[in-house]
Chain A
Amino acid sequence: MESYALLVAATLNAGTVLAIAALGLLINERAGVVNLGAEGMMLCAAIAGFATVVHTGSDGLGFLAGMGAGALLAAVFGFLVIYLSTNQYATGLALSLFGVGFSAFVGIGYVQEKLPQRPSFEIPFLADIPLLGSAFFKQHPLVYGVMAFVLGLMWFFYKTRTGLVLRSVGESPESAHALGYSVRRIRFYAVVAGGALCGLSGAYISIAYTPLWVEGMVAGKGWIALALTTFATWRPARILLGAYLFGGVTMLQFHLQGLGVQVPSQWLTALPYIATIVVLALISRNPAWIRINMPASLGKPFHPGS
């Protein structure tokens, strides 16, 4: 039984990585910008966060450095696609390719480095409950943080004026422009916010999730996070659920290995990627359903006065 409790705990942890990044991408997609650079931003943030913790010993500064790296790269991306109207797919791809190379380049000296003793977390009293304690109450604060953030984001999107403006920029930039909102500035802020969250997710990977630095360690999680926004039909709560689902698939491989299931490890490692493909195909089956839910101007540049 205890092993199932640990499986639940690991699922929540793995889901948190995906959820933080996917919620960030949701913000900029809701404003009409799709950023394929998630993988690159997460990798750069992972090394930025890891290096910062190595040098300062402070996890908090590490997370900040990760967010800063993500936001900075997103700002470059945002400038290109929003102000220079470059193709969003190609520019995002450039960001991913650059991020893979750049993180490997800066990270070469950190491959052997170790972080200081990792802190352990537990919620007093609750953590002592049998099974439930180890399943739910011994997690990194960000695991709870992302749950709170989803609620906050739902409130922001659907209950605040700013949230409404952000969504209108994604649905109909022309109308938002006509009402006097600066479409491009709002999109830029959304892109930077998305980058900061992707950065937080990347830093979480290298600081807490698997505390070390290896070249390419994000291993496609940025792309899975991108798939999650479609999977969740651009709704915050569904992103969290989807993230836990994928986190579960990722963790299942270790659990199956633990149970002694005789399957080559490569097939199990491929599981999350195959699951992403299958889920993406199933959810996209009905194009009308996607079209209704997708921000209407997603991927299209906006040039005021043209």
Chain B
Amino acid sequence: MLKLELRPQESQVWRYASPLLALAITVALGIGLFMLLGKDPLRGLQMFFWEPLKSVYALGELMVKATPLLVIALGLAVCYRSNVWNIGAEGQFVIGAVAAGGVALLADKETGRWMVVAVVLAGVAGGMFWASITAWLRDKFHANEILVSLMLVYVADMVLGYLVYGPWKDPAGYNFPQTKSFEAVTQIPRLMSGSRVSVGLILALIGVAAVWVFLFRTRAGFAQQVGGLAPAAARYAGFSSRRALWTALLVSGGAAGLAGALEVAGPLGQLTPYVPAGYGFAAIIVAYVGRLHPVGMVFSAVLMSMFYIGGELAQSRMGLPKSITGVFQGLLLFSLLACDTLVAYRLRWQSRRV
């Protein structure tokens, strides 16, 4: 029978091959799912892997969705590398969007272009504030950060709901739960005409470089990760675990808040109850599939963005529910975790001993 045997050393090959194998398994399961539903699997694959790439405009849309995923995942990677389990990035994203939206609503016809900077900074601050609740409860009360950060996602949704159904509702909005559309000066500048790609993409790529330098080239980044890998060693070396906790949550909260600001002052242009689009949860998968490595996450963010766009196309052109995106995202993470076994173990065929 097949037996798992511990490798003397982790396999570097499988560290990078595992996400590819996981993607292959997900695609295979996807083909099976399409056939089960009586849809043409080739056409299905085309929606996910060809349509998002086939024109400059489509590529732009791919980047529009990849940007928030990448920004959030960069923060989460710092978190997970320090063994801090923030799974409430969705809530930090929403509060970031709310804070950014609140500032954007202050703008009027006379406001200068500097306003967009204030909007973005407000988003970062909002996300940091929301994550700091988790950090504080963990630090002071030892409350489990997984459950607290997740519960705060629901609370954040309620805060958003309260504002757009209540005090921030557009009086001229025919009673729809939404704020008035933000002034043009709050709009995140676009990179070119004819595409919705914005400065946010540049910020995300700067973030990739910044996180890379922090993690692999600074003492603070090293101390941050030792706490996650070997808490005892970190204590011995005098690295503060409280400091690592706060850094992890403030960085990831700030990143998620930034993504919220870019989204609400970018493609959305107003606050509605539909601001939470699941990016905060999808970014967890992006972080894992990208091996918690800044460069790897660029690829996985693009892949996850393809899943989103493919899902929308599958809905409009093939009559499949959009939630197929969530199914594939879940399958991808499942397969990845299973394939990662091959990093630490090898499969051996062993005849059953009697």
Residues in chain A within 8 A of chain B (CB atoms)? 36, 40, 76, 80, 83-87, 89-91, 93-95, 97-102, 104-105, 108, 215, 219-220, 223-224, 226-227, 230, 264, 266-267, 269-270, 273-274, 276-277, 280-282, 284-285, 287, 290, 303, 306
Chain B nearest Cβ from A278, distance in angstroms: 9
Question: Does the CB pair A102–B154 fall under 8 Å?
Answer: no
CB distance from A276 to the nearest CB of B (A): 5
Given contacts A90-B333, A105-B321, A284-B143, 15 further A-B contacts (CB under 8 A): A94-B333, A98-B329, A98-B331, A104-B321, A220-B154, A223-B150, A230-B147, A266-B159, A267-B162, A270-B154, A276-B147, A277-B137, A277-B148, A277-B151, A284-B144
Cβ of A101: which chain B residues have Cβ within 8 Å of it? 323-330
Docked pose: A226 CA to B87 CA in angstroms: 15
User: A100 to B150, Cβ gap below 8 A?
Assistant: no
The CA of A257 and the CA of B288, in the complex, are separated in Å by: 43
- Would you call B30 an interface residue if the criterion is a C-beta within 8 Å of the partner chain's C-beta atoms? no
A149 to B148, CA, bound (A): 29
Asked if A280 and B327 sit within 8 Å, CB to CB, the answer is no
* Minimum CB–CB distance for B341 against chain A, Å: 4
Q: Report yes or no: A277 in contact with B337, Cβ–Cβ below 8 A.
A: no
CA distance A223 to B285 in the complex (A): 19
Given A89-B85, A98-B330, A101-B327: A277 and B338 interface contact (C-beta under 8 Å): no
Shortest 6 CB-CB contacts between residues of A and residues of B: A101-B326, A98-B330, A104-B323, A270-B158, A281-B141, A266-B162
Give the interface size bracket for B toward A: 35 or more
- Chain B nearest Cβ from A290, distance in angstroms: 7
In the complex, are the beta carbons of B341 and A97 less than 8 A apart?
Answer: no
State whether B341 touches A285 (Cβ < 8 A): no
Shortest CB-to-CB span from A226 to chain B, Å, is 6
Which A residue's beta carbon lies closest to that of B6?
A306
Known: A36-B146, A284-B141. A273 touches B151 (CB 8 A): yes
Residues from chain B with a CB closer than 8 A to the CB of A282 are 141
> What is the CA–CA distance of A290 and B326 in the complex, to the nearest angstrom?
35
Q: In the complex, A108 Cα to B148 Cα: how many Å?
A: 30
Neighbouring B residues of A281 by C-beta, 8 Å? 137, 140-141, 143, 148
B158→A269 contact, CB < 8 A: yes
Are the C-beta atoms of A290 and B142 separated by less than 8 Å? yes
Bound CA span A112–B137, Å:
41
Q: Does B171 contact A (CB under 8 A)?
A: no
20 A-B contacts (beta carbon < 8 Å): A84-B337, A84-B338, A85-B344, A90-B288, A90-B333, A90-B337, A94-B285, A97-B284, A98-B326, A99-B330, A101-B323, A101-B330, A104-B321, A105-B326, A220-B150, A264-B166, A277-B151, A277-B152, A280-B137, A285-B142
Nearest CB in chain A to that of B134: its residue: A277
- Which residues of the partner chain A approach B140 to less than 8 Å between Cβ atoms? 281
Q: Which residues of A contact B299 (CB under 8 A)?
A: none
A230 vs B144: C-alpha distance when bound (angstroms):
9
Distance in Å from the Cβ of A9 to the closest Cβ of chain B? 25
Give B148 Cβ to nearest chain A Cβ, in Å. Answer: 5
* B326–A97 touching, CB < 8 Å: yes
Residue of A nearest to B4 (CB): A84
Whole-angstrom distance between the alpha carbons of A303 and B239 in the complex? 31
Smallest CB-CB separation from B164: which chain A residue?
A266
Give Cα distance in the complex from A97 to B285, angstroms.
Answer: 9
Q: Is the interface of A mostly helix, strand, loop or mixed?
A: helix
Q: How far is the CB of B228 from chain A (nearest CB, A)?
A: 12
If the complex has contacts A97-B285, A98-B334, A290-B142, are A266 and B165 also in contact, measured as CB distance less than 8 A?
A: yes
Question: With A and B bound together, what is the CA distance between A86 and B335 in angstroms?
Answer: 11
Question: Could you tell me the distance in whole angstroms from the C-beta of A250 to the nearest C-beta in chain B?
Answer: 12
Evaluate contact between B341 and A86: CB separation under 8 angstroms: yes
Chain A nearest CB from B33 CB (Å) reads 9
B314 to chain A, nearest CB (A): 11
Q: List residues of chain A with CB within 8 A of the CB of B148.
A: 277, 280-281
Residues of B275-303 contacting chain A, CB below 8 A? 281, 284-285, 288
Contact B158–A287 (Cβ < 8 Å): no
By CB atoms of chain A within 10 A, which of B159, B165, B284, B327 has the most? Answer: B327
Proximity string of chain B (162-206) to chain A, C-beta cutoff 8 Å, 1 when within and 0 when not:
100110000000000000000000000000000000000000000
- Bound form: Cα–Cα A79–B6 in Å: 18
How far is A306 from B326 in the complex, measured between Cα atoms in Å?
Answer: 37
CB-CB under 8 A from B152, the residues of chain A are: 273, 277
Inter-chain CA distance A97–B282, complex, in Å, is: 8
CA of A99 to CA of B331, assembled, Å: 10
Q: Quick check: A273 and B146 within 8 Å, CB to CB?
A: no
Chain B min CB distance to A69 (Å): 15
**Shortest distance in angstroms between B38's beta carbon and chain A's nearest beta carbon?**
14
B323 touches A86 (CB 8 A): no
Q: Cβ of A86 and Cβ of B338 under 8 Å apart?
A: yes
Q: Which residues of B contact A93 (CB under 8 A)?
A: 87, 284, 333
CB neighbours of A276 from chain B (8 A)? 147, 151
Q: Is B340 an interface residue (CB 8 A)?
A: yes
- The answer to whether A85 and B341 touch across the interface, beta carbons within 8 angstroms, is yes
Q: Which residues of chain B come closer than 8 Å to A227, judged between CB atoms? A: 144, 147, 151
